[in-house]
Amino acid sequence: MAQTQPILITGGTGFIGSHTAVVLAEAGQPFVILDNLCNSSPKVLDRLARLNASPLEFVQADIRDSAALDALFARYNFAGVIHFAGLKAVGESVAQPLRYLENNVSGTINLLQAMDRAHVRRIVFSSSATVYGDPAVVPIPETAPLTATNPYGRSKLMCEDALRELHAADPRWHIAVLRYFNPVGAHDSGLLGEAPNGIPNNLMPYITQVALGQREYLQIFGNDYDTPDGTGVRDYLHVMDLAQGHLAALRALDTPKLLTVNLGTGQGVSVKDMVDTFARVNGVPIAHRFVARRPGDVAQCLADARQAKALLHWQTQHNLERMCADAWRWQSMNPQGFDTPL
Ligand code: NAD
Ligand code: UDP
């Protein structure tokens, strides 16, 4: 991959994409961002500029828009695509399965077709640990059986299947399927972070909003799981480590291949551990109440992270304390998310 050829980041104004933009900029890798802004703010671009991580161009467009993609691929000689664009709210996907499948699956296929037309056959794809469903074995190896428990998970599995079929049919493709575990934290400048719309679904943004006083207390979904303290166990990784994983994947795709890799720490953290660590590190107590299990949740989900080390030469660098400190710095500096004036 020639350094001067840019990378296209789809979904690049979103949570993980914006942090990945910073990592690419630090590595001297130019990039273009395409996002339809359905779940992110254009103000992210001002923050990226502050971090010397501006894209060559920002294109407000949809990955389902073939004409927009063809025009963009004609303007740049892209070295590859990091494809984050997609809808990600599990509950919403249950209510609106066709919208999720159309956006995520049709969108990805449309993008792959545009890439093929432009002879750009290198892609890093955002998959998720959700493709393992309720895992029989933890830590979960990449060879574990795959399943979908909701339309969001189904959309990820369908995209993965499309990528596997594509590689089988045309081995010229360079494909990395990255299965993320639970990304949290924020850039340590406090300029970038996670800014969910409405009531957060995920644990860390909920905790930071309780810490800020925007929500009264955290509901801990279940304390009767078969885990050391009864609360759900997950593999949380710092979003900057996850962002570095994308650079590592791009570099590993120097030759045609299909890589499928978990990105996680391999360490299990319970909801109770997370609440206690956040309170201790930041000196802010987190009011909480134990409530019933959330439907669809599994007891434990953590990565066997050995493949990432072997194939991508990547492993996480930031510990749980750092994830909690950075998430809180971002939230406390930006109580209104990206609408907070700089
Ligand atoms: P995000 O919502 O912050 O970012 C996704 C971006 O994609 C948003 O900016 C949104 O506006 C854009 N987008 C959505 N549909 C689009 C379309 N049709 N055309 C153009 N842009 C579109 O989410 P994120 O947390 O940064 O996640 C990025 C990717 O990683 C997603 O594919 C998500 O499913 C996947 N993922 C996320 C997590 C997580 O916990 N955050 C875990 C596993 C996988
Ligand atoms: N969780 C919780 N309260 C919340 C949000 C999440 O107790 O308000 C728990 C959830 O049950 C799971 C863990 O926190 O055990 C991580 O949930 P999240 O939604 O962040 O990620 P998931 O692993 O479900 O994708």
Biggest CA–CA distance in the chain, Å, is 56
- Cα–ligand 2 centroid distance for 203 (angstroms): 5
Residue 2 pLDDT exceeds 70:
no
At residue 29, the pLDDT reads 98
Nearest CA to ligand 1 atom 25: 15
- The rounded Cα 229 to chain-centroid distance in angstroms is 27
State how far the Cα of 104 lies from the Cα of 113, in Å rounded to an integer: 14
Which atom belonging to ligand 2 lies closest to the Cα atom of 90? 25
Q: Are 249 and 290 in contact (CB under 8 A)?
A: no
Confidence grade of residue 1 (pLDDT, cut at 50, 70, 90):
very low
What mean pLDDT, rounded, does the chain reach?
97
For helices 15-26 and 239-252, what crossing angle results, to 10°?
60
At residue 8, the pLDDT reads 99
Among 58-62, 272-276, 278-282, 292-296, which is the least confidently predicted range? 292-296
Sequence ranges of the domains in the chain: 7-186+236-265+303-317
At residue 224, the pLDDT reads 98
Residue 217 pLDDT exceeds 60:
yes
Q: Report the residue among 35, 130, 156 best suited for mutation to probe ligand 1: largest number of ligand atoms under 8 A from its CB.
A: 35
Q: Are 305 and 261 in contact (CB under 8 A)?
A: no
Fold of 7-186+236-265+303-317: Rossmann fold (3.40.50)
Q: Are 234 and 64 in contact (CB under 8 A)?
A: no
The terminus-to-terminus CA distance of the chain in angstroms comes to: 36
Per residue in 133-178, pLDDT (tens digit) is 999 999 999 999 999 999 999 999 999 999 999 999 999 999 999 9
At residue 59, the pLDDT reads 98
Confidence grade of residue 4 (pLDDT, cut at 50, 70, 90):
confident
Per residue in 178-203, pLDDT (tens digit) is 999 999 999 999 999 999 999 999 99
Residue 304 pLDDT exceeds 70:
yes
| Closest-CA residue to 6 (of 153, 176, 122) | 122
Per residue in 22-56, pLDDT (tens digit) is 999 999 999 999 999 999 999 999 999 999 999 99
37 in the Ramachandran plot: left (φ > 0), alpha (ψ -120 to 50) or beta? Answer: left
Question: 93 in ligand 1 pocket by Cβ < 6 Å?
Answer: no
Rg (CA), the chain: 19
Question: 181 in ligand 1 pocket by Cβ < 6 Å?
Answer: no
Q: Are 97 and 29 in contact (CB under 8 A)?
A: no
Write out the H or E segment, with its range, that includes residue 174.
Answer: strand 174-180
Percentage of the residues of the chain whose pLDDT score is greater than 70:
99
Q: Report the residue among 179, 234, 278 best suited for mutation to probe ligand 2: largest number of ligand atoms under 8 A from its CB.
A: 234
Number of residues written out for the chain: 342
At residue 241, the pLDDT reads 98
Q: Are 199 and 210 in contact (CB under 8 A)?
A: no
Per residue in 321-338, pLDDT (tens digit) is 999 999 999 999 999 999
Question: 100 in ligand 1 pocket by Cβ < 6 Å?
Answer: no
Q: What is the number of other CB atoms lying within 10 angstroms of the CB of residue 268?
A: 20
Across 113-128, average pLDDT: 98
Q: Is-catalytic flag, 152? A: yes
State how far the Cα of 261 lies from the Cα of 303, in Å rounded to an integer: 10
Residue with tokens 């919403």: 92
Question: 194 in ligand 1 pocket by Cβ < 6 Å?
Answer: no
Phi and psi torsions of 183, nearest 5° = -75, 130
State how far the Cα of 60 lies from the Cα of 42, in Å rounded to an integer: 9
Which atom belonging to ligand 1 lies closest to the Cα atom of 38? 11
Sign of dihedral through CA atoms 308, 312, 317, 321?
Answer: negative
State how far the Cα of 29 lies from the Cα of 131, in Å rounded to an integer: 31
Across 249-277, average pLDDT: 98
Ligand nearest to the CA of 69: 1
Give how far Cα 73 sits from Cα of 12, 78, 326, Å: 16, 7, 36
